[in-house]
Amino acid sequence: MKRYDSIDIKILDNRSPAEYSGEDVRAERGGHVPGAINIDWANHLSGAEIPSLNTAGELRVLYENAGIFPGDEVASYCQTAIRATHGYMVLKLLGYDSLRVYDGSWIEWGNRDDTPIEQ
C-alpha cells in the first residue's frame, strides 16, 4: 500500500462500517486507511436464508455511487484479504481491469505504528 495517498488509485475497504469507523477494533489500532472508500462486502449479496450475488446492475450502481468507476485503479483490503478478494472478484466480473488486493490488509496496517489511520 505504498501508494495509498496517490490520487491515481482508489482504496476500497471491504470491511464492515464498524470496523471502518474504528468502533470494532480487530488490530492494535482501529479505523481505516486514509481516503479509503468503505463498501462492506456483504452489500454484494441479497437474500437472508440463502444469499446470492446481486445483479451486475445493482453492483455497478453500488460502486459508482461510492465513486469507483470502470477505468479506475482499485486496491481493496479488509482484515485479512478474504473479503477484499470478494470485492476484487465483483469488480472483475463488472469489467474493471486495474485491480489489486492488499494482502497484508488491516491486520498489517492496523498493527504497525508507522502507518496513518483515519477514524
The three cell numbers locating residue 116: 496513518
117 located within any domain: no
93 located within any domain: yes
Print the domain residue range for 32.
Answer: 9-109
Please give the pLDDT value at position 8.
83
**Is 78 part of the annotated catalytic residue set?**
yes
Give the separation between CA 99 and CA 65, rounded to whole angstroms. 18
Indicate the residue type of 99: L
Out of 78, 81, 84, 91, pick the active-site residue: 78
3-state helix/strand/coil string of the chain? CCCCCCCCEEEEECCCHHHHHCCCCCCCCCCECCCCEECCHHHHEECCCCCEECCHHHHHHHHHHCCCCCCCEEEEECCCCHHHHHHHHHHHHCCCCCEEECCCHHHHHCCCCCCCCEC
CATH value at residue 95: 3.40.250.10
Please give the pLDDT value at position 53.
96
What are 38-76's pLDDT values in tens digits? 999 999 999 878 999 999 999 999 999 999 999 999 999
Q: How many domains does the chain have?
A: 1
Residue 95 — very low, low, confident or very high, per pLDDT cuts 50/70/90? very high
Please give the pLDDT value at position 47.
87
Please give the pLDDT value at position 2.
55
What are 101-115's pLDDT values in tens digits? 999 999 999 999 999
95 located within any domain: yes
Answer whether residue 1 shows pLDDT above 70: no
What are 4-17's pLDDT values in tens digits? 565 689 999 999 99
Average pLDDT across the chain, whole number = 94
Question: Taking a C-beta distance cutoff of 8 angstroms, is the pair 39, 63 a contact?
Answer: yes
Other CB atoms within a 10 A radius of the CB of residue 83 amount to 22
Please give the pLDDT value at position 48.
79
34 located within any domain: yes
Question: Taking a C-beta distance cutoff of 8 angstroms, is the pair 99, 74 a contact?
Answer: yes
4 located within any domain: no
